[in-house]
A and B are shown apart, each in its own frame.
Chain A
Amino acid sequence: MIFTWKLQGVSDTEISETDYLLFSAGTYNTNIIVGEFNDSTHVKTDAGVDKSSANTPNNNKYISATEVSLNGGATQDLDTATDSDAVLTINVTDGTFAIEDALFFTFNGSSPSQQALRLDTYSAEVGDTNWSHSINRTNALALTDKTSDTSHDYYILLSISPTNPGICNGTMRLEGVMS
């Protein structure tokens, strides 16, 4: 199977296996205050380079359980966001196949039951009315099943907030069953 993760924007930025999705307060690498949410999203390479600097990437900011701000815009209902508004897209290819029981969540990188370091995460699939507090597998965002096809796209809105001062990091996971 081939998984292609992208940060959407005016131009998309691929998130390779060695890249990181970086959330900032404003400009690249600006710290977010504890309890507040991201105002910009970027792709950072393993070498610390801003890979998405020329692509005007999207940003999805958690406002309330049912509301979002898109790219710094006014608060709107989460379920009014469209595919192109999502910060994250994941494409899956492998012949002709269906996908069931797919989940998206963040965790500490070693145990799917454990929350990422100092990180609160909210995610939603485009069309959802409520954010999922997807801080581990137990609280994962359940994604819509995909019927048999040669290519499948997931559009995911994602917003984070630091829970404590200090470096925050974690791992994003997509898991499911192909048949």
Chain B
Amino acid sequence: MKFDSNLPNHFFFKDWGKPQSVKYLHPFISQRGGINNDKVFNVVELDYGDFKLQVCIDNNNFWAKKC
């Protein structure tokens, strides 16, 4: 994957400055009638005001979602 701040939706973290708030999200699953096999990973949500960025590390994979 190529990162280039001249491309749409590509930014350097430093361009965004400090987020207004950082929230730690802990997804959960509870079941009855069967054991859960789905993976659940914690997420960090950075609130930049106009948008939020959710990031998650799944073992060797890094996920980022702009909300």
Contacts and interface: CB of A to CB of B under 8 A. Distances in A.
B24 A179 contact: yes
A1 B33 CA distance: 19
A110 B17 CA distance: 43
Interface in A92-108: 92
Contact of A178 (B28, B34, B36): B28
Contacts, number: 57
A172 B32 contact: yes
Size range of the interface on A?
Answer: 20 to 34
B5 interface: no
Contacts of B33: 20-21, 109, 169-172
Main secondary structure of the interface of A (DSSP, over half): strand
A21 B10 CA distance: 49
Nearest to B33: A171
Nearest to A116: B33
Contacts of A109: 33-34
A168 B4 CA distance: 54
A177 B27 contact: yes
B26 A178 contact: yes
Nearest to A112: B38
Interface string B9-26: 000000000000001111
A163 to B, nearest CB: 17
A147 B25 CA distance: 14
Interface of B: 23-38, 43
